[in-house]
Structure 1
């Protein structure tokens, strides 16, 4: 199948900001619900796939022809996504949002290393310095909230496994995004990821339907906000700006969560959060400024 050109309604960095803003509310939503995390993740992905299916052109579906290797890559992406949701969402049961988020902030580091081995992408020294600065800010933000109890260590371990899984998912997604329609890719991997969580839920004897109306509203909101306007946009951007740049944006998640909590919940911002947030934003802005220049230059050359 021929490589497809990316078609975006907005500038990729504007879309990246929308996606980061959308996913920044997911940890708060998950923390506030008592439904099994596997069930929430399953319906989150299934509902997202159903909502997005009409946006996949029928011509694309009808003409779709995948080799065994390509089907295997799709299944791998779906498996990685499902396991990521399982481990990361479960981590929030044991540890704090701040602790889980600072571990998730390691994602761009794993993706940058993976990109070097998989796509032979070399990061410049300036890009590495910007990334390390953003990571340092994330550590400072979470410094006062990271737990050291046995439960917190279990949660941190689950979050680390989830971070490795989502990093691998980003790399696989970047490879697939070069050949397939982004909406179709999202629908397929969301369905496959949801199926992974369905199998896990059935093996653990979780009820699939016995939930209150508030729970179904929660599932729907998880699908629309952090998945369709978050994870799906990340999928859309993999082709145009790459997995490393997309994952760097995720470092801004805790910063936006703090700002949203200040605006809507009246929560105070601590000294560590203020200083760490500034360092994170500075590192991210420097990184995105450099990548944006490269993106604009590549676009001019292609035209």
Structure 2
């Protein structure tokens, strides 16, 4: 097997590990704050030896206010997204949180004076139609799902916000130390939230702690590491668009392992959303290439 095929297979493996996130969160029997906190805490513990060995000189960036702000936004993103899975179907949650690239395009238009051309507008419109299809169906079938859909949608907004605000720091700091600093601050903020909410830090049973560890190792450490590695050999657009496979895989796994029904309106709305994200992302990438040329 040649190297190019191996990279694509590796990228597919990364998307698979990312897709496990929603399933593991769904089967955890713990408050969303606890699940988010331990996912980040175990991630930081796993990454600390490498950071101390290879990137000790990057400690100074802990004093930069921007990673602190981005860590706060990441913490809120995890709280909202993990909470959404408690209220709505896993498929709905991952589809709505996948809207993050579209929010990023909108933020770039509003705050970075990036052009919002026809291709991006059509993609955003398609995603909006898909969101309405899913939400209207949930209103008539199970109104409680609307709140979960809203949480996932808001989680996507916070995800795009932390990526947008963190762009300036990422230009100065290598990817790994940046993520480590970001995860560390997110862990601190999540710990403060758990303490403030007076939720016990312990007493959740070995099964839950194994799930928390699985979230740290699988989707966070392995999944994101593979995506970061793949960017070295594949175009950013290919890696970014491959992530659209995550909601599809998660939906199929939720159907197979959790016996969640795949509702027709979720399929139709999901196709609109993912198609809109694909169209807008490809168009946005092409515009960036033209500017760089």
The question of 1:40 aligning with 2:19 is answered: no
1:259 to 252, 261, 274: 252
Tell me the residue number matched to 2:176: 183
Q: CA deviation at 1:124?
A: 3.7
Q: TM-score, normalised on structure 2?
A: 0.75
- Greater CA drift, 50-59 or 228-237: 228-237
Distance 2:157 2:73 in 1: 9
Higher helix proportion, which one? 2
**Partner Cα separation in structure 1 for residue 130 and residue 270 of structure 2:** 6
**Counterpart secondary structure, 2:55:** helix
Relative to structure 2, which stretch is displaced further, 169-178 or 129-138? 129-138
DSSP 3-state at the match of 2:247: helix
Q: What stretches of structure 1 of length at least 5 have no aligned partner? A: 1-8
After superposition, residues 81-92 of structure 1 pair within 5 angstroms as 81-92=74-85
Post-superposition offset of 1:74: 0.7
Does structure 1 residue 203 correspond to structure 2 residue 196? Answer: yes
CA distance in 1 between counterparts of 2:122 and 2:7 reads 23
Q: How far apart are the structure 2 equivalents of 1:146 and 1:223?
A: 34
Q: Which residue does the alignment assign to 1:3?
A: none
Partner of 2:122: 129
The equivalent residue for 1:114 is 107
Q: Which among 16, 19, 24 is matched to residue 21 of structure 1?
A: 16
What is the match of residue 73 of structure 1? 66
TM-score norm. by structure 1 comes to 0.73
Deviates more, 1:200-209 or 1:262-271: 262-271
Shift of 1:35: 0.9
Q: 1:48 to 1:202 in 2, by over 3 A?
A: same
CA distance in 2, matches of 1:67, 1:277: 39
CA distance in 1, matches of 2:158, 2:259: 34
Gaps of 5+ in 2: none
Equivalent of 1:60, from 55, 58, 81?
55
